[in-house]
């Protein structure tokens, strides 16, 4: 009995994979005690296996890597560069960043991306909200406040990435969304009752029927492991949180997921698998994908969400598209009912509306 206990103690002093080196961390996903070298190997190999198993790339493709300067996108750019070289994927990689116009946050993080451009030898393209929409997030927050600003940023950012990828003539756009992010999204769509998004939010690749498919190589990679990898590899990344995001609805889902992970580390993967296994009834009416009449972006309505939000900003009705004030049925973007105060019409400045993007597909 004593010999068995002693052998277990001795085994605990060494990496559970190579049994030769001292462990440097306990993997959040499996709770294995492993050394740095084995951690690097299994981390990279798991991502490689996900790429191969899901046929994410084809040789010769141009791949735009969404780069924010944060740890997820920085590790994604580094690992993709390494795997592309090591396994001969034959990919042409580019960094693609979005400048939302957030002083003290995005301007600093973009400096990190510019250093990554040199460090990894990957060309960088930056697209900005100002160039695409005529507004910065700082300006939007001034008129909309802190309550709904993430709605604007999320809609505009998604389209900005697609337009930037189109400018680069990319075949695919890859993002650093990790397992935690996807689990949060599954949970949020359940809470919102958003059947359309719930049916596809756990896909590793989306938009295959659109101009530029998006894929998520980190779909099964835990955020904590990405953080450990970036730390041990001493990668250059920006770690400050967006100054406008602390009150975001997603933050509450994130805290809930973290609480579940403390109790059961596999909870994150369980939620993702639940999202993968959801089946929508054939009688459920799903929105039909079309094209925005104004800017040509994919949309299930006459005007895409970005055009509706931009219309509201330009017309002095910033809550257009996020409140009960909705766009007119004629596709003009005018509200069905102008707001009134004490029975009188409120005069609002009419500003010329611009298309929500200037980069063509």
| Residue stretches of the annotated binding site for ATP | 66-68, 72, 98, 176, 181
What DSSP element (H or E) covers 203?
none
Q: Return binding residues.
A: 66-68, 72, 98, 176, 181
224-236 exposure pattern, b = at least 16 Cβ within 10 A, e = fewer: bbbbbbbeeeebb
Choose among 292, 349, 343: nearest CA to 321.
292
* Residue for token pair 């959801």: 278
C-alpha span between 98 and 69 (Å, rounded): 10
Q: Are 33 and 241 in contact (CB under 8 A)?
A: no
For 331: left if phi > 0, alpha if psi spans -120 to 50, otherwise beta; the answer is left
Angle 178-98-102 from CA coordinates, rounded to 5°? 100
List C-alpha distances in Å: 112 to 87, 97, 98, 212, 284.
27, 11, 13, 26, 45
Q: Are 98 and 132 in contact (CB under 8 A)?
A: no
Other CB atoms within 10 Å distance of the CB of residue 321: 25
In degrees and rounded to multiples of 5, residue 61 shows phi and psi of -75, 150
In degrees and rounded to multiples of 5, residue 138 shows phi and psi of -60, -45
Q: Are 161 and 126 in contact (CB under 8 A)?
A: no
DSSP annotation string for 143-166: HH-SSSHHHHHHHHHHHHHHHHHH
Q: Could you tell me the two tokens for 205?
A: 């690749």
> Which residues 6+ apart lie within 8 Å of 246 measured at CB?
none
Angle 313-288-173 from CA coordinates, rounded to 5°? 70
Angle 82-99-358 from CA coordinates, rounded to 5°? 105
């Amino acid at each position: 009995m004593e010999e068995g206990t002693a052998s277990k103690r001795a085994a605990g002093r060494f990496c559970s994979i190579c049994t030769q080196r001292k462990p440097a961390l306990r993997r959040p996903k499996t709770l294995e005690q492993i050394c740095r070298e084995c951690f690097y190997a299994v981390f990279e190999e798991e991502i490689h296996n996900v790429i191969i198993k899901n046929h994410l790339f084809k040789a010769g493709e141009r791949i735009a890597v969404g780069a924010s300067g944060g740890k997820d996108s920085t590790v994604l750019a580094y690992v993709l560069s390494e795997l592309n070289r090591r396994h001969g994927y034959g990919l042409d990689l580019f960094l693609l960043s979005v400048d939302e116009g957030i002083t003290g946050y995005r301007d600093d993080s973009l400096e990190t991306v510019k250093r990554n451009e040199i460090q990894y030898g990957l060309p960088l393209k930056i697209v900005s909200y100002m160039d695409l929409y005529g507004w910065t997030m700082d300006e939007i927050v001034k008129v909309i406040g802190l309550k709904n600003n993430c709605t604007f940023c999320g809609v505009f950012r998604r389209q900005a990435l697609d337009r930037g990828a189109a400018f680069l003539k990319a075949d695919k756009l890859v993002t650093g969304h990790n397992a935690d992010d996807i689990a949060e999204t599954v949970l949020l769509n359940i809470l919102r009752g958003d059947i359309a998004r719930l049916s596809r939010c756990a896909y590793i690749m989306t938009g295959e029927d659109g101009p530029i498919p998006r894929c998520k190589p980190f779909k099964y990679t835990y955020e904590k492991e990405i953080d450990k990898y970036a730390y041990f590899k001493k990668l250059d990344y920006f770690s400050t949180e967006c100054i406008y995001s602390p009150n975001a609805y997603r933050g509450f889902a994130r805290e809930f997921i973290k609480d579940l992970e403390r109790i059961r580390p596999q909870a994150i993967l369980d939620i993702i698998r639940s999202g993968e296994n959801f089946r929508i009834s054939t009688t459920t009416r799903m929105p039909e994908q079309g094209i925005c009449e104004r800017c040509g972006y994919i949309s299930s309505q006459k005007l895409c969400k970005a055009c509706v939000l931009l219309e509201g900003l330009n017309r002095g009705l910033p809550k257009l598209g996020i409140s009960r004030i909705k766009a007119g049925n004629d596709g003009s973007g005018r509200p069905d009912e102008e707001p009134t105060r004490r029975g009188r019409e409120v005069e609002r400045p009419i500003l010329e509306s611009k298309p929500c993007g200037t980069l063509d597909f």
